[in-house]
Structure 1
Amino acid sequence: MLDVLRTGRLVLHPVGTGDHRALLAHWTGPRVRRHLFDDRILCAEQVTEIIEASLHDFATEGFGLWALRLAPEGPLAGVAGLRRMEGPAHALDVEIVYSLEPEHWGHGLAAEAARAVLDHAFDVLALPRVIAEIDEANTASAEVAEHLGMRPFEEGPADGLSRYVAERVRSAEAVKA
């Protein structure tokens, strides 16, 4: 069964085909896509591919993308999740991603959702670390990463991304064993 995550204000459900229309609208909104997709407009087929990849990742990896809602059946407030990073340098790395509908910006919901996802990554999946790649112009997203306790570890002015990392803290008993 796919994990539903809950926070004080949010219900996070794994994205599914029923979220397609809302995700297409969310990800093609100009203020959201600016930092997520390098300002490219996704087509319906690409959203379908993202949903299918997320469902596959939940089945094989235990993680994927969650739809954020303020109420179980409420409208989409955003998306948060984990995805395997691409490229040989990051073959084992997992990235945290998050986005909100602009009307919800500035209320702490991105940090709340990202905290639930990061806790799932460390407490349930026992991932050793999680990376965030953030557009250098997206200072609000960088603030969310820092609020989560992530620390910058690499800046890439050539690609316009700042990279942050969070590492799982092992208990003292586990370290002694």
Structure 2
Amino acid sequence: MRELLRTERLALRPVSMRDHRPLLAHWTRPPVRRHVFGDAAVSAVQVTEIIAASRRDFAAHGYGLWTLRPARRADEPLIGVAGLTGRDGPGAGVEIVYSLEPERWGEGLAAEASRAVLDYAFGVVGLRRVAAEIDPDSAVSVRVAERLGMRPVPDGAAGPDGASFYAADRAGWTAARIPADGVDAVRPVTPAVTSAG
């Protein structure tokens, strides 16, 4: 099953091999690579492995990585990636990840995409908890996590390079989604989930 998500401004489509070239270009851009890969070089082989791992995760667990493109035209260039991935070690469990083209930073797209991914994680897949590993120097990522209602994990182990962990749980997320007077003031955009073959 291939889950497509839509928000007010974004179309989220599961990554596939046809996305290899744009993903490689995106993840090798120095500002993106610095935040996502700790400034390590990213190879074409690694991108192939990431796509394959996402496809396996969708098949086995119902989640993975989605490409982000403007909702008005899904054939427009890739502007980022968001999704869920399993992790071992500190903060073990399911982690939300995202990256955006630097020209799109500051537009609220990371929070919008992440909100759709968390709605899917809790509402469709039924996960109990989703974590985020945040670089201690990334105040922007902290703000995104807080906008999503994620909270610091005070007793969690520190990640690599002193990273901290934030988390959201299904019960808290579902409670925050309850509309007041028929209007969902907390999260105005609910992703449409459709299947594609």
**CA offsets, 1:19-62, max 9 Å, x none?**
00110011111001111111001100000000000011101110
- The equivalences for 1:1-177 within 5 A come to 1-70=1-70, 71-87=73-89, 90=92, 93-154=93-154, 156=158, 159-169=161-171
The CA distance in 1 between the partners of 2:90 and 2:100, in whole Å, is 30
Q: Check the 8 A contact 2:15/2:54 in 1, yes or no.
A: yes
Q: Secondary structure at the match of 2:41?
A: coil
- Residues 133 and 157 (structure 1), Cα distance of their counterparts in 2 relative to 1, 3 Å cut: closer
* Identity percentage of aligned residues: 59
Once the 2 structures are TM-superposed, how far is the Cα of residue 89 of structure 1 from its aligned partner?
Answer: 6.5
Q: Check the 8 A contact 2:83/2:96 in 1, yes or no.
A: yes
The CA distance in 1 between the partners of 2:160 and 2:53, in whole Å, is 29
4+ residue runs over 3 A deviation? none
Letter in 2 for 1:77: I
- Residues 10 and 89 (structure 1), Cα distance of their counterparts in 2 relative to 1, 3 Å cut: closer
The CA distance in 1 between the partners of 2:101 and 2:91, in whole Å, is 32
Once the 2 structures are TM-superposed, how far is the Cα of residue 139 of structure 1 from its aligned partner?
Answer: 1.3
Q: Secondary structure at the match of 1:169?
A: helix
Letter in 2 for 1:4: L
Once the 2 structures are TM-superposed, how far is the Cα of residue 128 of structure 1 from its aligned partner?
Answer: 0.4
- Residues 157 and 45 (structure 1), Cα distance of their counterparts in 2 relative to 1, 3 Å cut: closer
- Corresponding residue number in structure 2 for 1:175: none
Runs of 5+ in structure 2 lacking a partner?
176-197
Structure 1 vs Structure 2 CA RMSD:
1.8
Higher relative contact order (CA 8 A, sep 6+): 2
